[in-house]
Structure 1
């Protein structure tokens, strides 16, 4: 039997690039951790000015900045570096579409969790993710204001784009009220309220988040139309509303608790009310590499729970007393699926 031909160098190079893909992630993580994009928001700077401004001592500062320029996050202007358009829009603190909160969460938490992927697969659970995620961990995590703010900055990154999608895609005219179950500090709720001034809304989440909600609602000018309810959504009464929105919540829980939460939501909705669920859901006919890796990431972070298929979610929603009226994929950061159902 003859030996198999050697793989073309292009195939080998592709595998090598995949093997070192984390280089790009860590360059981005470090730039945000150091505050580079914030520094350059005031204007271009030389390597020496960057080193002095950020307290960088390593002689590889030039190569570090060159790498960011090669990735399209910086632009070289003579002997100076400036933020690219993308960095200005998404990586400068204070930007309406700031992604830095999520970058920091990945740098501090997710990167470490993925570093234990082999152990997690062998032992059956991702122990390193338990510190900050999972249904049992949230109350303890949110009790620390600094950790709560870090988590909220991460969640806000995704909620912003999702809120804009829901505000645009859904006809909110028949409704006057909504509640976001597991809505954190109200990023999604406040953006929907701003887009549709006739709506009043509420967020239901753990009590320690109420001060952060109050702060955000006041800053957005919607405190008169949004209210926070603190409690356990599997035990405490849910507020009545025309619409219930919930996203990235159901997969945190085993199947029995998911079904119970759907039943409780059904009871809280007014007659003819609508349920809107957005989350990562498996759809073999349309999944991309990005979709599959995001589901793997969420499974690692969430611990024992995981995402479900569209068909499984449809079945659970219908079992709870809803009729599914709409299913589509959102143009948000994760490519979440949106399921809209009406109360029977």
Structure 2
């Protein structure tokens, strides 16, 4: 019998209800369910309900925890009244707040800031204007940096989204010809710390605006690498970058328009010796623009956050590198949808 492939609405509904799945995970991070289970190892639904102070029915709790299980975030033994829940390998490693590998900062910011701002995507597309704290005037970074709590949340979010990339970059990039690295817009200093940890000959500096320095210093102290990881203060719009063999920008270029991207790459070029490397670590979009959907969604997030920022392809990066005067480029796939785009002087 001939088989007909009839259209199905499955993918339409999966994407259309995507915010349901998103909110289930984001709320679990907010409730610190994975941190609790990392400590307790295993708990029943009723025990979790009691610990979290839920007033909903037991059936609601089963639905909630079983959804997390179906997504692969929890493991479960038994069913309904006999169920016992524990963390998956991934959530135990990445979503336990007490581990240095915690990436939940980004998920916390998605829940606390971006979830509501993305509700205004239509307005962002119609106006080309940011839809966040800077809506109606001002600058995102001025708004974030003027509030200590919001700044800390933003810093931890940037750390969370990049941790896997920084770990991968520190182990796969060839550092053998280099000694000094500067991470521009270094946030909490995690890239410098990962490089110092995995490359004992490297000395690293995490460079950012003055309000960030105390957060970076605390992180460096936590990793006990202050002999080879230092902090420095500066503003890349006003200051020249300190000299280094490797200049890294993680989730920096995509904040800005094309003209500013080229200006930042020029500043990196000027800070490097011949043979030095400039590295941009971001969700580099594939040249065909049909695979890395995370990179394209992150680019739309830059519309929401900055209005004129955007993520880019490796072909874009090559064009800008050539404009600045870099001799060669390469790309290294990192964790998930992110890559290190590299330009050599």
* TM value normalised by structure 2: 0.88
User: Could you list the runs of 5+ residues in structure 1 that have no partner in the other structure?
Assistant: 1-6
Q: CA deviation at 1:168?
A: 2.1
Q: CA deviation at 1:286?
A: 6.4
What is the distance in 2 between the residues matched to 1:323 and 1:116? 42
Partner of 1:272: 275
User: Could you list the runs of 5+ residues in structure 2 that have no partner in the other structure?
Assistant: none
Listed one character per residue, the Cα deviations across residues 269-291 of structure 1 (whole Å, up to 9, x for unaligned) are 12332211222333333641344
Of 289-298 and 265-274, deviating more is 289-298
Partner of 1:40: 37
**SS state of the match for residue 8, structure 2?**
helix
Partner of 2:52: 54
Number of positions where the alignment pairs a residue of Structure 1 with one of Structure 2: 332
Match of 2:218 among 211, 215, 220: 215
Aligned ranges 1:61-80 → 2 under 5 Å? 61-78=61-78, 79=82, 80=84
What is the distance in 2 between the residues matched to 1:75 and 1:255? 45
Of 300-309 and 32-41, deviating more is 300-309
What is the distance in 2 between the residues matched to 1:312 and 1:125? 23
Listed one character per residue, the Cα deviations across residues 56-92 of structure 1 (whole Å, up to 9, x for unaligned) are 1112222212222222222222323222333222222
Change (3 A) 1:201 1:187: same
Of 96-105 and 234-243, deviating more is 96-105
Q: CA deviation at 1:180?
A: 0.7
Of 190-199 and 32-41, deviating more is 32-41
Match of 2:126 among 102, 122, 126: 122
Q: Contact 1:275–1:342 at 8 Å: present in 2 too?
A: yes
What is the distance in 2 between the residues matched to 1:303 and 1:220? 36
Q: CA deviation at 1:129?
A: 5.9
Match of 1:293 among 290, 294, 297: 297
**SS state of the match for residue 274, structure 2?**
strand
Partner of 1:4: none
What is the distance in 2 between the residues matched to 1:322 and 1:135? 34
Q: Contact 1:113–1:126 at 8 Å: present in 2 too?
A: no
Of 293-302 and 102-111, deviating more is 293-302
Of 85-94 and 230-239, deviating more is 85-94
Aligned ranges 1:16-35 → 2 under 5 Å? 16-35=13-32
Q: Contact 1:275–1:341 at 8 Å: present in 2 too?
A: yes
What is the distance in 1 between the residues matched to 2:61 and 2:51? 12
1:142 matches 2:145: yes
What is the distance in 1 between the residues matched to 2:270 and 2:41? 55
What is the distance in 1 between the residues matched to 2:307 and 2:112? 17
* TM value normalised by structure 1: 0.88
Of 47-56 and 270-279, deviating more is 270-279
Partner of 2:322: 318
Partner of 1:112: 116
Change (3 A) 1:43 1:272: closer
What is the distance in 1 between the residues matched to 2:269 and 2:294? 33
RMSD over aligned Cα, in angstroms? 2.3
